[in-house]
């Protein structure tokens, strides 16, 4: 099994999303049941408008944090990152939107995982460690066979 010191900022190979649709920029923490990512809000982000990172960007950041967990897990096992999809979203609450150059931190806790379907609880925090969004999401790994 491979080991890498965290935080990890070279993560392009760990998620299936490619620029300009990358909504995570670093892997901060990883365990079997949780992951923490970060994203610096930049002007060129496709979900950046009127000096704010918009709601769809926060939701995509949540989903890509889950994808980052799966991708890093596969990487540690020597396998390429799989493609996945959002199966369902529930209980999403957005309390505030981050601004230009803010770095948000997203924490996902795996609640259940079975046969490629993962249910997670996700929270997003601003630089002041205030919760700015939360929700639950079900993701599904694509069957490429």
Q: How many domains does the chain have?
A: 1
User: What domain range is 111 assigned to?
Assistant: 12-141
pLDDT digits (tens, 9 = 90+) for 4-22: 688 999 999 999 888 888 9
**Domain-located, residue 60:** yes
DSSP, collapsed to helix, strand or coil, labels residue 62 as helix
**Domain-located, residue 92:** yes
**Domain-located, residue 91:** yes
| Contact yes or no for 89/106 (Cβ under 8 A) | no
Global pTM value: 0.92
- End-to-end distance of the chain based on CA atoms, in angstroms? 24
**Domain-located, residue 42:** yes
Residues of the chain with pLDDT under 70: 1-4, 144-145
**Domain-located, residue 45:** yes
pLDDT digits (tens, 9 = 90+) for 106-129: 999 999 999 889 999 999 999 999
Strands (E), 11-102: 26-31, 34-40, 48-49, 52-53, 84-94
| Contact yes or no for 108/35 (Cβ under 8 A) | yes
**Domain-located, residue 106:** yes
CATH of the domain at 73: 3.10.129.10
């Amino acid at each position: 099994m491979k080991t890498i010191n965290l935080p990890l900022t070279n993560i392009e190979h760990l998620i299936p999303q490619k620029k300009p649709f990358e909504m995570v920029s670093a892997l901060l923490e990883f365990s079997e049941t949780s992951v923490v990512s970060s994203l610096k809000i930049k002007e060129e982000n496709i979900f950046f408008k009127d000096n704010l990172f918009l709601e769809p960007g926060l939701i995509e950041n949540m989903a890509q944090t889950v994808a980052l967990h799966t991708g890093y897990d596969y990487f540690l096992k020597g396998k390429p990152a799989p493609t996945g999809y959002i199966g369902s979203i529930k209980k999403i609450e957005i309390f505030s939107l981050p601004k230009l150059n803010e770095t948000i931190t997203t924490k996902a806790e795996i609640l259940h995982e079975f046969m490629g379907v993962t249910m997670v609880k996700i929270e997003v925090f601003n630089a002041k460690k205030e919760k700015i969004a939360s929700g639950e999401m079900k993701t599904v790994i694509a069957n490429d066979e």
